Amino acid sequence: MPWGVKGFIPRSHLVEKENIEALKGQKLTVVVLEIDRAKEKLVLSNRLASRAATFSQLTVGQLVNGKVTGLRPFGAFVDFDGNTGLLHIGQISNRRVNNLEELFKVGQPVTAMIANLEEGRGRIALSMKHFEFYPGEVLEKMAEVMAEAEERLDRAQKNLLNPPIA
């Protein structure tokens, strides 16, 4: 980037969004989102650069700890280690989930497992249902299941890769 050209990183494209003052003077890895030579405008993304760097380190079956950042009718978005994954409503429990707002709040800590990675589309699918010992356990005892997620991980990985025949 030529000196004298200023770049702008929207807050939504920062990995560390909470303490912007601490970023002053720091070097950040970024990717270019937009270039407008006529207006000398350069829009950058720290979040996408971080995602690209860390995506290759993610694996299906990996345990992740994150926070719920958004709720939609189809699932919860979870931020972890500079990445965002979707915990689809069908991946929360082996029993039907009727209301996400009853289970999750924005900012709530969540433990899940990576169920699928689509690097080309930048998508990370998360799952909790494979931690269950019986259908609906996550709905009844979410805190307990998440606290035991690490101990349940080996079984959950086997269930993810070789689902039981119903």
Using one digit for the tens of pLDDT, what is the confidence trace for 103-153? 999 999 999 999 999 877 779 999 999 999 999 999 999 999 999 999 999
Give residue 159's pLDDT band: very low, low, confident or very high (50, 70, 90). Answer: confident
Using one digit for the tens of pLDDT, what is the confidence trace for 13-70? 888 777 888 888 888 888 899 988 888 889 998 878 877 777 778 999 999 999 999 9
Residues of the chain with CATH 2.40.50.140: 58-161
Comparing C-alpha atoms, which of 132, 126, 144 is closest to residue 67?
Answer: 126
Chain position carrying tokens 């969004």: 17
- Is residue 113 within 8 Å of 158, Cβ to Cβ? no
* Angle at 76 (CA atoms; ends 137, 128), nearest 5 degrees: 30
109/97 Cα distance (integer angstroms): 19
pLDDT > 70? residue 4: no
pLDDT > 50? residue 1: no
In this prediction, residue 119 carries a pLDDT of 78
- Enumerate residues 6+ apart whose C-beta is below 8 A from 161: 60, 61
Task: Record the tokens describing residue 117, joined without a space.
Answer: 């990675």
CATH architecture of 58-161: Beta Barrel (2.40)
Instruction: State pTM to two decimals.
Output: 0.71
In this prediction, residue 41 carries a pLDDT of 86
Long-range CB contact pairs, 151-156, < 8 A, 24+ = 153/61, 153/63, 153/113, 155/130, 156/61, 156/113, 156/130, 156/131
